[in-house]
Amino acid sequence: MMRITLAVTGTSGIILAERLLENLNGQDTYLIVSDTAKKIARYEGINLSELKKLAKHFYTENELDADIASSSNPIDAMVVIPCSMKTLSAIANGFCNNLISRAAENILKMGKKLILVPRDTPLSLASIENMRKAKISGAVILPPNMAYYYKPETLEDVTNFFVGKVLDVLDLEHDLYKKWSRE
């Protein structure tokens, strides 16, 4: 069983976090939801109490005294999904002002897997530079970019493709999308 921190920040696409949690059933999951993500969840019709129920442990961004705020509690991997440009900046620059950026800092300093799913378009130079910095620090930058070759028919197919890509990086089996084959 993996210990995985999942942070949800204030961008469009909170459903990605919900779908990922559904597919992390059986793992030891630590969910952190930012204050803005709570608002956007409402706008996007995501029920926060249902989201919380999918995780084993739940924290708000202000709980800097939580166990996962310290690297003495080892976590195997962390996914920030979706990741705002603001949280990307905090992580890239080591600005640990909340539990999300602090937990990410711990993952990077312990050399564990950190996956960032940044959502914004178009991108500012600051965000591109922050992605570069985070990448150099060891993070995997996994933007939710569309592909058409697997012929998605519904929004569900598109969501599953993005979440499948995250599970690929976590080395977890799934059948959320059909792997490319030219046959």
Q: Which stretch binds ligand FMN (CB under 6 A): 4-12, 140-148, 149-157, 169-177?
A: 4-12
User: How deeply is 95 buried, as exposed, middle or buried, from its count of CB atoms within 10 A (0-12, 13-18, 19+)?
Assistant: middle
Sequence-ordered list of residues with C-beta below 8 angstroms from that of 140, at least 6 positions apart, any chain: 113, 114, 115, 116, 169
Is the Cα dihedral 146, 39, 44, 57 positive or negative? positive
Cβ-contact 69, 100 below 8 angstroms: no
Which one among 5, 6, 10, 131 touches ligand FMN, defined by CB under 6 A? 10
User: Measured from the CB atom, is 62 or 70 closer to ligand FMN?
Assistant: 62
Nearer to ligand FMN, 40 or 77 (CB): 40
**Number of residues in contact with ligand FMN, rule: CB under 6 A?**
15
What is the C-alpha to C-alpha distance for residues 144 and 173, in angstroms, rounded to an integer?
Answer: 19
Give yes or no for residue 36 binding ligand FMN (CB under 6 A): yes
Q: How far is the CB of 33 from ligand FMN (least distance, A)?
A: 9
Residue whose C-beta lies closest to ligand FMN: 10
- How far apart CA 101 and CA 38 sit, in angstroms, is 17
In the block, which residue shows the tokens 């569900």?
156
Would you give the binding string for ligand FMN spanning residues 47-86, x where CB under 6 A is met? -------------------------------------xxx
Contact range with ligand FMN by CB under 6 A, out of 17-25, 37-45, 67-75, 172-180: 37-45
Between the alpha carbon of residue 109 and those of residues 3, 28, 51, 101, the distances in Å are 17, 21, 29, 12
Write each residue from 118 to 157 as x if it is in contact with ligand FMN (CB under 6 A), else as -, in one continuous string.
Answer: -xx-------------------------------------
Residues 15-34 interacting with ligand FMN (rule: CB under 6 A)? 34
Give phi and psi for 148, each to the nearest 5. -110, -15
Q: Which residues bind ligand FMN (CB under 6 A)?
A: 9-12, 34, 36-37, 40, 43, 84-87, 119-120
